[in-house]
Structure 1
Amino acid sequence: MRLGLALLTPLAILCAACDGTPFAPEQQSFPKPDRPVSGKGSYQVSTETQRDNRGEARTVMDLADIKDGMTVADIGAGNGYYTVRLAERVGVDGRVLAQDIDGDALARLGRRVEREGLENVSILRGDPADPKLPENSFDRIFMVHMYHEIEQPYEFLWRMWPALRKGGEVVVVDIDRPTDQHGIDPLLLSCEFERVGYELVEFKDAPELLGYYAQFKAAASRPEPGEIKPCRSERAATGEARRLRPTKREKV
């Protein structure tokens, strides 16, 4: 058993945080993002076959250095494109936690997990402002083509921060375009992560991913919610496109 994840087996997947009880966050004040947010579920990157033909999942997992025995989370798992491929990569000694806020999507994914016999996969329903991940549990947390849909990114990232193990990192794949068009300026992405207690460690333009790849680690500490100041997109303010190009694995 790995840090309680085995308790969320595919047969008991959909009852976590889905009993109709309203989400009651701690009494803390988080800033709202100074930008629009994309609508959920209205953007489809491409089919799984097309994504595999581009080598998308393989490229992302290689960049993230996913190895046998790791414990990883797939946030906004949807139909499970990354979930099933991560399950194969981490092997029988690893664990994958697939998380989403869409109960119907999780039901479909649960059936897929059962059908494909993925015994190292667990499924959890999160909340819009809280992924509800267990603390000190993950070597990698994946957020692929979904970050721009998070309505309360500062609260979401702040609550996700304790879920990383020592040396754990967050992987983001997204597209460099306005946040109401299913993408996010990489400078704005980096700013929002850093304001909540993360550090950028890798960035790569990746046409094969139809966007870019960014990787963050937890900083030494995270600020109190009231200390977080929202970022403002320079592109939104000036109309100028700016690019973030740190050297691979270079801290910024």
Structure 2
Amino acid sequence: MPNRRPLGLALALVLLSSCGEAQEAAPVAPLGPAGLAASRFPAPVRPVAPVVSDRWEAEDARERVGEAERVLGWLGVAPGQSVADIGAGSGYYTVRLAQRVGPGGRVLAQDVVPRYLARLRERVAGLPNVLVGLGEPGDPRLPAASTDVAILVHMYHEIEQPYALLANLVPALRPGARVGIVDVDDATPRHGTPRALLACELAAVGYREVAFHWLLERAPRSEYLAVFEAPAAPPVPESVRPCTP
């Protein structure tokens, strides 16, 4: 698919400039305008896991099981596409996406933790097809019609306002876009999201599950990739009904 850059993205190019110490780095700007106010959406009726690290597991361990290769293959990520890495953290997927989409593609790497983004910005400084931006707990702050594939890896259970974030993601998605969520089939306090709960929460915002893959089955915590298609438009916030665990 050809790379189509919406107007207003030039500002985001400054996000790849050099920075000082991670804790003192200059602020990172959002990639796109604000969406619907998160306060208009219901809060999730289940615990939200705390953000404790920008890494899920050591990268060499993830490579040994072929995690990224399998996930990106199942999602059909291809050269020339624009992919949003939501909750990019340390950049495990960001750098691999940059290689996979190639010079004609683009990676929008987003997170809500500024210190994670400062370290990520240093890591991707030599990758011209990566843009780094600051999101909000209920809004990824991505440009409109910018994304062919969005991935959320081992962070859905940490989203404070999932219904708002999912609704505000819709305008960023191009027709036929896919949203892939990687998580563990476990309770949110244990840094997972039960498969049925995930499907319910996305359905509440109008998403439809189109594929499901077990990524790594190991008792008692099995990892999965769930793939969704978004609704044509975001729902009216007041119409969203939260799911119960």
Question: TM-score normalized by structure 2?
Answer: 0.86
- Structure 1 27/138 Cα, relative in aligned 2: closer, same or farther at 3 Å? closer
Asked whether 1:91 is paired with 2:118, we answer no
From 159, 164, 167, give the equivalent of 2:176.
Answer: 167
Structure 1: 4+ residue segments shifted above 4 A: none
Matched to 2:228, the amino acid is F
Alpha-carbon RMSD = 2.3
1:186 aligns to 2:192 (yes or no): no
Aligned partner (choices 29, 50, 55) of residue 40 of structure 2: 29
Unaligned runs of 5+ in 1: 234-252
TM alignment of 1:1-252, pairs within 5 A: 2-3=5-6, 4-9=8-13, 10-11=16-17, 14-17=27-30, 26=37, 29-42=40-53, 44-114=55-125, 117-207=126-216, 211-233=223-245
> Contact conserved, 1:5 with 1:97, CA < 8 A, in 2?
no
Check the 8 A contact 2:45/2:242 in 1, yes or no: yes
Alpha-carbon offset, residue 78 of structure 1: 0.8
> Cα distance, 1:95 vs. partner?
0.2
Superposition deviation, residue 2 in structure 1: 1.7
Paired residue type of 1:213: L
Question: Structure 1 residue 220: deviation in Å?
Answer: 3.5
What is the total number of aligned residue pairs between the two structures? 227
Q: CA deviation at 1:6?
A: 4.8
CA contact (8 A) 1:113 1:121 kept: yes
Instruction: Tell me, in whole angstroms, the C-alpha distance in 2 between the residues paired with 1:216 and 1:231.
Output: 17
The answer on whether the counterparts of 1:14 and 1:124 sit within 8 Å (CA) in structure 2 is: no
Q: Deviations 1:179-223 (Å, cap 9, x if unpaired)?
A: 111001111101111111211111112217950110111124432
Residues 27, 102 of structure 1: alpha-carbon distance in 2 compared, 3 angstrom cutoff: closer
Q: Secondary structure at the match of 2:40?
A: coil
Identify the residue that residue 22 of structure 2 maps to in structure 1: none
- CA offset digits 1:30-73 (Å, max 9, x no partner): 11111001010258532111111110100100000010000000
Q: SS at the partner of 2:202?
A: helix
1:154 CA displacement:
0.7
The 8 Å contact of residues 55 and 90 in structure 2, kept in 1 or not, is answered as no
Aligned AA (1:128)? P
Native 8 Å contact 1:141 1:169 kept in 2: yes
Q: Normalized against structure 1, the TM-score is what?
A: 0.84
Q: How far is 1:17 from its partner?
A: 4.8
Structure 2 alignment gaps of length 5 or more:
19-25
Amino acid at match of 1:231: C
Corresponding letter in the other structure for 2:59: E
* % identical equivalent positions: 47
Judge conservation of contact 1:188–1:231 (CA < 8 Å) in 2. yes
Contact 1:69 1:90 in 2 (8 A): yes
Q: Verify the 8 A CA contact 1:96 1:122 in the aligned structure 2.
A: yes
Distance 2:54 2:89 in 1: 12
